[in-house]
Structure 1
Amino acid sequence: MDTEQEEMQFLGLFGVYRESYKIILSWRKIFSQITLTLILPLTFILLIHMEVSNILFSKINNNTQEMLYTPQDTPQHKKLSDMISSEWATYWLFKLAYITFLLIFSLLTTSAVVYTVASIYTARDITFRGVLSVVPRVWKRLMVTFLSTFVALFIYNLVAIFVLVILALTILRQSYGIPIMVVMGIFYIAGLVYLTVIWQLASVVTVLEDSYGFKAMMKSNELMKGKMGLSILIILTLNVPSFLIYLLFNKLVVQGLRLGYVEKTAYGILCLILLSHLILFGHVIQSVLYFVCKSYHHQNIDKSALSDHLEVYHGEYEPLKAKDVQLEHYQV
């Protein structure tokens, strides 16, 4: 990294973006290899899910509509019923396969990018083969953090639904009911954004430190203090183009009935390239944000200690321990 650690605390949105761009540009060979091996399949899974889900659900919907106008207790009605049951089974099996592969490639991508950025930060010699040898050894820790975040989101949504039902039963018919519901909706969205920010930085903490699961989330929350505005701004500026790419793919490829096969393929490839680059950029930004937060809290990371713990010992990944990461505080 070009920016000294003591100076990273002063980086704003454009500073973090600029630093991330410089890292990718300076090490474009290894990031290109990571993109082709991990991020491109991940992006393909994200996009093909939209196309296949639309096809499967359209078949189910068409057969359901046809069954409604077919007399019951007839061979045709039974055939349609069996066909719909089979299609629903195929649909949910596809969803299960999608979630499985999405989770695998997401965890591997996070491991690879965070490990690579940390290696660049410590000026270690890094090769693509070395990255691939490390990432499978940290996915279990990332899985625990992901599951912890999932539990937190589940509880959050459960509480939100409970509050929504209570409000709907008590104040919805009052004159002030709608404004209160709107305000509660805004608070709900803000909470989702907050949990998303915590989860993304917790993933970096999981790879670089000995904290994972809820412990990593709490550590992430501590690091975010003072940089929450920047973190939320980064999330929003990354999610907006992601949403536009999904919208473009859905409009031109999934729903593009008037377009030819060649045109739909071209648009599909364009969305694939754009989204894969955005995913890479987003993961590098998360890693840079980690060092920005550490710098803001005056925690000077010992590069030699971080480098040592990025090594592979006896075939096992050694995470950066708290005593090495909870660096001595320096004076600005």
Structure 2
Amino acid sequence: MNAQGQGKDKLVLISGIFLLIPFVIGLSYIENVMSVAMVISILEIDVYGWKAQGKSMKLIRGKICVSFVVFLPLHIAIAGLVFAFTSLLVQEFVSLSIMRSFYVTIACSLLLMVLIHFTLVIQTIVYFVCKSYHNEDLSNFAENLGDGYANLGGEQGDNELHRPLV
């Protein structure tokens, strides 16, 4: 290959990197907004859809760096796990026996399940951190959640525990 062809390859690589950086930053911001919006739509009864996204953008505004630092490693871990699974089993870069394929599938599934649950907990924690940063009232969650869930406290009688939720 001549020097001119190598120069074009380097230019394409450098321009690709410069385009990739804003793409990753924008994608991370959208993922952060959507993660907090999911929690908002669950915990706040009257807020969902576009309203939840708008509220999420307002809540994240004060803690954008914290949300990047917290969510980016989680999203990278999930993407890495999916990449490892596809490269090991789907694209078959490594030939595995049927039993080893089964064990790899079980291990990847369990790891993905743990990562998803951990991410859901972290999303809720980030929501509460952002809400407390903006000095919003956190006391009304018990009243809002009490409408749809049974109280399992031990001070009430047995007939109170077995009543229908509706």
Counterpart CA distance in 2 for 1:253 and 1:185 is 28
> Are residues 1:249 and 2:116 paired?
no
Counterpart CA distance in 2 for 1:289 and 1:297 is 12
Higher helix proportion (structure 1 or 2): 1
* Structural mapping, 1:260-275, within 5 Å: 260-275=97-112
Matched with 1:258 is 95
Cα displacement string for residues 216-256 of structure 1 (whole angstroms, at most 9, x for unaligned residues) = 11100111122101111222110222122112212222233
What are structure 2's unaligned runs of at least 5 residues?
1-7, 150-163
Matched with 2:138 is 301
Matched with 2:33 is 198
Match of 1:212 among 45, 48, 52: 48
* Amino acid corresponding to residue 244 of structure 1 in structure 2: G
Question: Do the aligned residues in 2 keep the contact of 1:253 with 1:265 (CA within 8 Å)?
Answer: no
CA apart distance, 1:181: 6.5
Per the alignment, do residues 233 and 315 of structure 1 end up closer, same or farther by CA in structure 2, a change over 3 Å counting?
A: same
> Are residues 1:226 and 2:62 paired?
yes
| Larger RCO, structures 1/2 (Cα 8 Å, 6+ apart) | 1
CA apart distance, 1:189: 2.5
* Structural mapping, 1:1-332, within 5 Å: 182-209=17-44, 210-256=46-92, 258-302=95-139, 305-310=140-145, 311-312=147-148
- Paired-residue identity, %: 33
Counterpart CA distance in 2 for 1:315 and 1:243 is 39
Counterpart CA distance in 2 for 1:187 and 1:243 is 19
Per the alignment, do residues 268 and 315 of structure 1 end up closer, same or farther by CA in structure 2, a change over 3 Å counting?
A: same
Counterpart CA distance in 1 for 2:41 and 2:148 is 16
Counterpart CA distance in 2 for 1:264 and 1:177 is 38
Q: Secondary structure at the match of 2:138?
A: coil
Q: Secondary structure at the match of 1:245?
A: helix
Cα displacement string for residues 7-26 of structure 1 (whole angstroms, at most 9, x for unaligned residues) = xxxxxxxxxxxxxxxxxxxx
TM-score with structure 1 length normalisation? Answer: 0.38
CA apart distance, 1:283: 0.3
Counterpart CA distance in 2 for 1:249 and 1:281 is 19
Runs of 4+ residues deviating >4 angstroms: 176-182, 313-316
Q: Secondary structure at the match of 2:62?
A: coil
Counterpart CA distance in 2 for 1:292 and 1:234 is 12
* Amino acid corresponding to residue 206 of structure 1 in structure 2: S
* Amino acid corresponding to residue 190 of structure 1 in structure 2: I
| Count of residues paired in the alignment | 140
CA apart distance, 1:184: 4.2
* Amino acid corresponding to residue 38 of structure 2 in structure 1: S
Per the alignment, do residues 276 and 312 of structure 1 end up closer, same or farther by CA in structure 2, a change over 3 Å counting?
A: same
Give the superposed CA RMSD. 2.6
TM-score with structure 2 length normalisation? Answer: 0.73
Per the alignment, do residues 265 and 205 of structure 1 end up closer, same or farther by CA in structure 2, a change over 3 Å counting?
A: same
